[in-house]
Amino acid sequence: MYESLWGFILALMEKITTLKHYLSLIKFSHTIFAMPFALLGFFLGVLDEGLFQWADLLLVIACMVFARSAAMAFNRYLDRDIDARNPRTAQREIPAGIIQPTQVLRFVWINAVLFMAAAWLLNPLCFYLSPIALAIILGYSYTKRFTALCHFVLGLGLALAPIGAYLAVTGHFSILPIVYGLAVLSWVAGFDIIYALQDEAFDRHYQLHSIPAALGKVRALQLARGLHFFSAVAIILAGMLLAQRYVQVGWLHWAAVAVFCGLLVFQHRLVRPNDLSRVNLAFFTTNGVASLVFGLLVIADFYL
């Protein structure tokens, strides 16, 4: 009896360890970047339709998790040889031998199928568009091999979050979630350029394409600032459209805008061309907080 119990505990611990490895592989905590905007798109759809359904909300969250898991795992699979050569990424799960490439590829397929299944349960339009969404978010991993515009493809992938969530509820397109999508696209492209500053020399050496490798650190940071300025403008424009279309926008909404824009400014004060020591703080913490606070406060403003 005790041997069976001990065997069960060991097997359970092994499964938990394996789960931790996969969550680390896909950087599950970074789902926070796009999830609040997906929820924002969902609740915009609820405002339009006047009907909230828990099943739809859970399916939208599932779509986000499955799509992002597939995209991140595929990126790790495709870049495994590149990661092995880069001292910054050599300890990732595949080059370190923690997870085998075939296991990761299987994980990608499972999540892609689950994403399409969840889209099918939402409505026909989401299902028909799901292969296009997968082509964008999986195709991003190839782009650094031939274009410095790879950051914009990543931004486009995350920009689908508010648009797709709105479609999940309404089954049709609308200008407001598209404006939020544009804000996300420029926001993500900007902070991905900042993150890519760390690999400028490596990318040049191995003939990989990125904005920092193409333009240098100074001009790359200038472009990132311009993109974040555009993102702030789009966020403000979305608030004005929201006020015209639905109800009077309250102080919570404009507080959310102020926090989001303020954190965009703050992250650019953290990073200098000759000092990249705080890139991770700018990339992970600042943007995660900006997205979470903005999404939650704007949704709260809808109902308060």
DSSP 226-267: HHHHHHHHHHHHHHHHHHHHSS---HHHHHHHHHHHHHHHHH
Task: Look up the CATH number of the domain holding residue 282.
Answer: 1.10.357.140
Higher per-residue confidence, 19 vs 135: 135
Burial of 72-83, coded b for 16+ CB within 10 Å and e otherwise, reads bbbbbbbbbebb
Within a domain: residue 48?
yes
Residue 5 pLDDT: 53
Q: How many CA atoms lie within 13 A of 289 on its CB side?
A: 13
How many structural domains comprise the chain? 1
Distance between CA 246 and CA 262 in Å, rounded? 26
Residue 11 pLDDT: 56
Task: Out of 16-30, 39-53, 244-258, pick the least confident.
Answer: 16-30
Within a domain: residue 132?
yes
Residue 33 pLDDT: 81
Residue 117 pLDDT: 98
Residue 40 pLDDT: 95
Say if CB 168 and CB 123 are below 8 A apart.
Answer: yes
Rg (CA), the chain: 20
Domain span at residue 261 reads: 33-303
Within a domain: residue 92?
yes
Query: What letter represents residue 82's amino acid?
Result: I
Within a domain: residue 4?
no
Residue 17 pLDDT: 66
Instruction: Please give the average per-residue pLDDT across 268-284, as a whole number.
Output: 86
Does residue 15 register a pLDDT over 80? Answer: no
Within a domain: residue 117?
yes
Would you place residue 248 in the very low, low, confident or very high pLDDT band (cuts 50, 70, 90)? confident
Within a domain: residue 24?
no
Would you place residue 88 in the very low, low, confident or very high pLDDT band (cuts 50, 70, 90)? very high
Instruction: Please give the average per-residue pLDDT across 182-208, as a whole number.
Output: 96
Within a domain: residue 23?
no
pLDDT in tens, 127-142: 999 999 999 999 999 9
